Amino acid sequence: MMYKYMIFLWNIIIFVDMNRWIVAAFAVLWMLPLSAQSAREEILAEPQKAGGVYAMYEQVPGQESRPPKGDKPFYISHYGRHGARYLLSDKEYARVVDLFARAHEAGELTDAGENLNDRLQAYYRQMQYREGELSRYGWEQHQFIARQMYAAYPELFRRRPRVEAASTLLLRTLMSMNAFCTALQGCDPHLPIYAEGSRLNLNGICPHLKDNPFAQGEGVRFDVDDPWGGNLKRFAMENEPWESLADRYFRHREWLLAASDTVSFVRNLHTLVFNSNNVPTDLSFAAVFTPEEAYQAWRVENYRYWLGLGPQNTSEISLVEEIVRTADRDIAAGEPLVRLRFGHDSSLMATLSLLGINTFGQMPASADEIEEVWRCYRIPMACNYRFVFYRNKSGEVLFKFVLNGSDAKIPALTPVEGCFYRWSDFRALLAEKYHFS
C-alpha cells in the first residue's frame, strides 16, 4: 500500500506544477510515519492493551537499527520486568468471585451475570494457591527475549561475554531470571553466567521494596493529588464504566452500591479479567468488558500509575544512579559484559520517566492528556529495556536504548546518528538533573 501511494504521488509530481507539488508530496510522506493512533484507537483495535500492566509482551521481531560504521557492541545493561504471572494473592480473585457469589445467592444477577458467575467460580478453583507465581507464559516470554538478545548482537556474543544477573527476591522475578539465563546458556553452553538474588542488590533493582535495607523516603504512593488538583477517586468516578457493567450483570444498581464501592468494583473486575490472559486457562473473559468499557477502565488505571510512577516520582533515583555508576565501571573495565537486572513494573515505569525515554518523561497539560504521553500498556508483562554500548577505534562510547526489542528515543539529547547517543552526553544530563557525580 505504501509503495502504491508513493508511485501515485510521484506521478502527480511529474505531471503537475513541479515546485508546488514536490513540497506538498514530500510533506505528506514525511508526516506519514509520524501519524499515531490515540490510546482509545489502539485499545479499540487491540482490546488486550486495555489490560495496561497486565497486557502481554508481544513476541515479535524487534526493530533495531545498525550502529554507525566501525562501532562494535561490547556491553549491555538490561532491565527486565518479571514475565506473565498469576494475581498477587487469592484475595484479588476472591473479591470478585465472592461479590458475584453473594449476588447469586440474593437473586441479583442477570442472565449474563449468572453466566459470568459460573465461569468465575470455575476460574477461581483453577487459580488458587498460585499467588504471584510466574506462569508458563512468563517463562516463555523471557526465553524468547533472551534468544532475541543473543541473535541481535552476534559480534558481542561471539566474544563470550561474562553475564552477571541479579534479581529481587520474589519468586516470579527469580524464575524470570532463571528462564532468561537458561535460554542464553542454551544459545551458547560456554557462556560464563552468574546469577544471584540478594537484598544487597535491591537499591539498584527495585529501591522502594520494603526489603531494601537502604530504602529512603516514602517510596511509591498512588494516593496523591495530581498537579491540577485532582485525585484518583475523583478521576475514577468521572471516567469508570460502572453503570453499564452493573446493568449488564446485576438486576439492581442499588444492590451493587450497597455491596461494593464503584471504584473497587471496576478495578477488581478489570484486574481479574485482563490478568486471565497471563495464565493457562480454558475459560474466556474476553467479552466481560465491551471495547469502550475496557478503554474507560484502562484510563483510570493509566491515571493511577502515572500518579505514582510518572515524572514527578523520585523513588527510583538510586536505580538510575546504580545503572550509571555501574556502566561507568563496566565501560572502564573494557571487557565484553552483559549485565541483567530482573525486577518489577513499578521500577521500570519510574526509570523510563526519570531517564526521559520517548514521551515517558513529558508532563501533560491536563489529567485528560496523560494518555497522550504515558500509556501503561507499553509496560506489559516481561517489559524490558537495555542500554547497548558501542565503541569505535578512536575509543568513543556510543549507546542506544532499546525498549521491548525496538529502538527508543531520548528527546533531551541530540543523537550522533539515528538513535545512537554519546554516553558522556547522557551521563552529564542525568548527573546535572539528579545531582550525582
Q: Are residues 350 and 298 in the same domain?
A: no
Q: How confident is the model at residue 198 (pLDDT cuts 50, 70, 90)?
A: very high
Residue 27 has what pLDDT?
Answer: 34
Q: Are residues 238 and 295 in the same domain?
A: yes
Q: Are residues 400 and 320 in the same domain?
A: yes
Q: Are residues 283 and 350 in the same domain?
A: no
Q: Are residues 264 and 276 in the same domain?
A: yes
**Grid cell 526509570 — which residue?**
351
pLDDT tens, residue by residue, 252-284: 999 999 999 999 999 999 999 999 999 999 999
Res. 7: pLDDT tops 80:
no
- CA distances 242 to 52, 101, 239, 265, Å, are 18, 19, 9, 8
SS3 134: strand
Q: Are residues 168 and 285 in the same domain?
A: no
Domain boundary among 247, 280, 309: 309
Which residues sit opposite 398 in a β-bridge?
Answer: 390, 422
Residue 112 has what pLDDT?
Answer: 98
DSSP assignment letter at 61 = -
Domain boundary among 282, 309, 336: 309
Contact assessment for residue 403 and residue 388, using Cβ atoms and an 8 Å cutoff: no
Q: What is the DSSP string of 245-288?
A: HHHHHBS-HHHHHHHS-HHHHHHHHHHHHHHGGGS--S---TTS
Q: Are residues 325 and 411 in the same domain?
A: yes
Mean pLDDT of 127-132: 95
Which residues sit opposite 78 in a β-bridge?
Answer: 340, 386
Q: Are residues 300 and 409 in the same domain?
A: no
More confident residue, 299 or 7: 299
Domain boundary among 252, 287, 309: 309
Q: Are residues 128 and 140 in the same domain?
A: no
Mean pLDDT for all residues in the chain: 91
Residue 62 has what pLDDT?
Answer: 85
Q: Are residues 203 and 57 in the same domain?
A: yes
Nearest Cα to 381, choosing from 94, 95, 172? Answer: 172
pLDDT tens, residue by residue, 57-95: 999 988 899 999 999 999 999 999 999 999 999 999 999
More confident residue, 61 or 154: 154
Mean pLDDT of 350-355: 96
Name the domain count of the chain: 3
Q: Are strands 72-81 and 384-391 parallel, antiparallel or unpaired?
A: antiparallel
Residue 29 has what pLDDT?
Answer: 34
Residue 219 has what pLDDT?
Answer: 79
Residue 436 has what pLDDT?
Answer: 84
Residue 188 backbone dihedrals phi, psi, to 5 degrees:
-150, 100
- For the chain, the residue count is 437
Q: How confident is the model at residue 216 (pLDDT cuts 50, 70, 90)?
A: confident
Q: What is the CATH number of the domain that holds 429?
A: 3.40.50.1240
- CA distances 200 to 204, 215, 344, Å, are 9, 11, 17
Q: Are residues 165 and 300 in the same domain?
A: no
Q: Are residues 235 and 204 in the same domain?
A: no
Q: Which domain holds residue 271?
A: 90-132+226-309
Q: What is the pTM of this model?
A: 0.90
CA distance 116 to 225: 36
End-to-end CA distance of the chain: 51
